Amino acid sequence: MTEQQTSRPDVTPAPRLGPDRTVLAAVAAVTAVSLAGAAVSVAGDLNPTYLDALGPDGHLSVPLPMTAFQVVTAVLAAGTHRRRVLVASGLLTAAVTVAVASGFFDGGYADDRLTGSQRAVQVVLVAGLVAVAALGARRFVSALRGDDAGAASRRAGG
């Protein structure tokens, strides 16, 4: 065999980033608040069943399909493959931003039936979603720049 037959062609490996699990942690926290919010919603007679509370009519939770979308995109955004991180963090940021904004227009934040404690759950949930969008945007920009300084500074404790 000649060297030409045995040598591998120059293949540039896919660009890698350092893992950044902050978006994933934020989505996990929002999911926990959402599941608790659904229980509060049922206990407060806002929704008849737990699954109804996790559906499109729940005011204290994220609908199940959106929760699944957030978890999948957060897992991909936490990874090291640059292209996947860009797509996942961009989609997550856009979808959550639209979801939060839509609550202002569809009356989701103006339900007069909510008690003070239910309103507090809603505020925590929306604040968590805003944090997810902000962290997703930060991860997107970091991956876009090919910058891993954010992950490096977190590992160093700074």
68-85 confidence digits (pLDDT tens): 999 999 999 999 999 999
Residues 130-141, mean pLDDT to the nearest whole number: 97
pTM for this model (two decimals): 0.83
pLDDT band at 121 (very low <50, low <70, confident <90, very high): very high
Residue pair 90/23 in contact by the 8 Å Cβ criterion: no
Beta-sheet strands, E only, within the chain: none
Instruction: Give residues with Cβ within 8 angstroms of 43, minimum separation 6.
Output: none
- Model confidence pLDDT, tens digit, residues 16-63: 888 899 999 999 999 999 999 999 999 999 999 999 999 998 889 999
92 pLDDT exceeds 80?
Answer: yes
Q: How far apart are CA 24 and CA 20, in angstroms?
A: 8
Question: Ramachandran region of residue 45, left (φ > 0), alpha (ψ -120 to 50) or beta?
Answer: left
